[in-house]
Structure 1
């Protein structure tokens, strides 16, 4: 059906029903329509269906600063713009953009009218920010639980020789029989004990320790290559989502914003043959298919914000017309320029568009439009990968908050920067 305004979301809200988790994807991390319409649907999920928080494919410490702002904490900026503008890890434009600012301003304006316990949050699910999270743990324990500071400092000192360069640490664990795993396990144990005692902002300190543990595993897996580092990362995001749902309470509900490659069930793609899983698959397995709604987004052509290599300056790039024979090519021929597709349940009659294997576009933060004819597509059974799909025939790039080059030592995410 055509998609014209937010009233058209009535159909997908009916599909959501009483689901506890709604995951909203994107075919790229730099497309205005994906961010704007995803935010619009999320506003209705929060305002009308009582969803408790948004979990995004972003770093915990950076998103915690945004969360404190949108939930009107006195130790955070009144304007979410300030919290988002401070993002400094490449690719900054993923969250430091005007589209996310607009949503976070709406969220704060809504939250300020509610009691603290009723306010919807904004949290990072990702595994990065090892050093930032360690520093947050040390600072918190120094103030609230000094007896556990030594464990945290020992973990930090173990990583110090690598100069906050995860690739140096990863290579060291491969060629020298050493790692900081033991120190990280002690840090995590101390943070969990602190959290169980209920001292200070215990959930945040525990989550920062979980990030340290997840990141250490991720970097060790990354240097070995293959699918394991992807799986470590998505497992961490799913575990973080579980902890947030438990933290918000038994009636809590979550919206997740992440790339289609994380949101769409991996079992309906060729990712499974490569030994990979993702948070969409894990959520369906853990919570049941009726409690999880997976929504994909796609485009035929337009522009996108991306970099030509990891850490390169962001730039607006042309997204060429999709390859013939792809999902995007089929929708370009038959669907309205903006469309909402709600899929019938599995088991009944379905059109071939939902059951055939079709290549489905996926653009990472590192992008080369000239390589479209052999890359940037994931073989997909659309009706099994998602429960609904939003289509935008022509799209344009997001609007970043800053355009300077950010120096980075973070490794490129496996396999294509998504």
Structure 2
């Protein structure tokens, strides 16, 4: 495989050197941009530059990210000019107060947000470029959004929403408490959450008091139903709760795509473990699916383009335990024989590799690819941070940055977990 990497990989210094990759994307409606950690500066910066080009040159409609819907609505409203009270991008990013705050409250994302705002000011099309969070974690925040809107508009669905809210209220906004009660004691709010989703979906077109309020209500109701399922399941099955989460992200994506119409095109930012096709990894052996697989299965081959990212060594922002303060950690040289070590060994420079019908077969050997999460212990990474992968099938392209640097958070201490 080293010989094939040397043959096909191309060095790059800036996004302008990635023209062949941009061209290869063609008319795809779904472009998935990965990352091998949630705390690396270059992943955010380069994805931002690629996203700008896709928006300007190929007319992409919105960016969807691995984050909470309510928090990202602050960005979406800011860049579209819906919220005239917020004047500063750092104030917008204060909405990201759930651990790990650094994932979106960071210096690297501020430039993209300001660029999107300026672009939308000059954009004469009916629908301006959006920014949305499609993750499942915001159970209580999404219910708050629903109840607040229905109270403000005096809507008839308020009774259904308050019934659902009352069911969850005894758990004091604590996901873990609900998970234990629902997963082990069968004391759950399944019916209330599903009734709320059905009611909101049935009447969503009546929610028009604010821009995009129908979409906002639909996705928040979807989060409520799927988050209930996720937290109830997480205490009994890691693989099934993973599937619930990734299926939710695709459901949320589909809702946004419907909102934008038949010509909608989306750029998706998520970890490699979500966007790299699960069928090309050992995830399939555990019955797990992910966003990349589900989108590929539901769409034509040329409608989906997946780009993985990785590094050989450097620094990263992460925590040693869930909910703990972040640290700047050293990323050790990639494990011998791994994908990243071969990319480095072929030539220790930044490079990209496009998998085509002509060369994919040369990259079908299963090989370990590094994956760093928000919790990371570098000294133990060889025991669990490498995903066995068929790289030519997992991605359509791969961007390798030989030496990377830690993200630059705006918030120095974690707040809500």
TM-score norm. by structure 2 comes to 0.94
Q: Which residue of 2 aligns with 1:37?
A: 46
User: Is 1:181 aligned to residue 215 of structure 2?
Assistant: no
2:101 counterpart residue number: 92
Contact 1:268–1:385 at 8 Å: present in 2 too?
Answer: yes
The equivalent position to 2:214 in structure 1, one of 191, 197, 202, is 202
Structure 1, residues 158-183: CA drift from partner, whole Å, max 9, x if none? 01111111111111123323210111
Given the alignment of the two structures, is residue 330 of structure 1 paired with residue 345 of structure 2, yes or no?
no
Q: Which residue of 2 aligns with 1:211?
A: 223
Aligned residue number for residue 247 of structure 2: 235
Q: Once structures 1 and 2 are overlaid, which stretch shifts more, 129-138 or 83-92?
A: 83-92
Coordinate RMSD, CA, aligned: 1.3
Contact 2:101 2:414 in 1 (8 A): no
Measure, in 1, the Cα distance between the counterparts of 2:157 and 2:392: 50
Partner of 2:24: 15
Q: After superposition, where does 1:234-383 map in structure 2 within 5 Å?
A: 234-345=246-357, 348-350=358-360, 352=362, 354-383=363-392
Worse-matched range after superposition: 79-88 or 121-130: 79-88
Distance 2:332 2:361 in 1: 27
Match of 1:222 among 195, 211, 234: 234
CA offsets 1:318-355 (integer angstroms, 9 cap, x no match): 0001111100110110045111111112xx44464x11
Alignment-derived partner of residue 82 in structure 2: 73
Tell me the CA shift for residue 225 of structure 1. Answer: 2.2
Q: Which moved more, 1:365-374 or 1:76-85?
A: 76-85
Matches of 2:36 and 2:341 in 1, distance apart?
A: 15
Residue 118 of structure 1 and its aligned partner are, at CA, apart by 3.7
Which string of whole-angstrom CA distances, capped at 9 and with x for unpartnered residues, describes residues 367-392 of structure 1?
Answer: 00010221211000111000000001
- The match for 2:7 is none
The 3-state SS of whatever aligns with 1:147 is: coil
Equivalent residue, structure 2, for 1:416 = none
Work out the CA distance in 2 between the residues paired with 1:6 and 1:139: 43
Q: What do the CA deviations read for 1:121-164 (whole angstroms, capped 9, x no partner)?
A: 00001001111110110111112243211111111110111111
Superposed displacement of residue 193, structure 1:
2.5
- CA–CA separation in structure 2 for the residues paired with 1:319 and 1:74: 40
Residue 393 of structure 1, CA deviation = 0.8
| Residue matched to 1:413 | none
CA–CA distance in 1 between the matches of 2:24 and 2:336? 31
In structure 2, do the counterparts of structure 1 residues 273 and 148 end up closer, same or farther at CA, with 3 Å as the change threshold?
A: same
SS state at 1:402 partner? coil
Deviations 1:29-81 (A, max 9, x none): 00011111111100000011100000000000000111000111135523332
CA distance in 1, matches of 2:195, 2:218: 12
Partner secondary structure for residue 297 of structure 1: strand
Match of 2:4 in 1: none
Task: Give the whole-Å Cα distance in 2 for the aligned partners of 1:374 and 1:178.
Answer: 37
1:155–1:187 contact (8 Å) kept in structure 2: yes
Comparing 249-258 with 10-19, greater Cα deviation is found at 10-19
2: distance between equivalents of 1:404 and 1:175? 33
SS of alignment partner, residue 226 of structure 2: helix
Tell me the distance in 1 between the aligned counterparts of 2:56 and 2:88: 21
How far 1:26 sits from its partner (Å)?
A: 0.0
Q: Residue 367 of structure 2 aligns to a residue in which SS?
A: strand
- 3-state DSSP class of the match of 2:143? helix
**How far apart in 2 are the matches of 1:340 and 1:305?**
24
- Partners of 2:281 and 2:205 lie apart in 1 by 40
Structure 2 gaps of 5+ residues are: 1-9
Q: Does 1:127 align with 2:136?
A: yes
Is the contact between residue 97 and residue 414 of structure 2 (CA under 8 Å) also seen in structure 1? no
Q: How far apart are the structure 2 equivalents of 1:250 and 1:340?
A: 32
The answer to whether 1:164 aligns with 2:173 is yes
Quick one: distance in 1 between partners of 2:385 and 2:27? Answer: 34
How many equivalent pairs are there? 405
State how far apart, in whole Å, the 1-side matches of 2:134 and 2:84 are. Answer: 22
4+ aligned runs moved over 4 Å, structure 1 = none
**1:116 deviation in Å?**
6.3
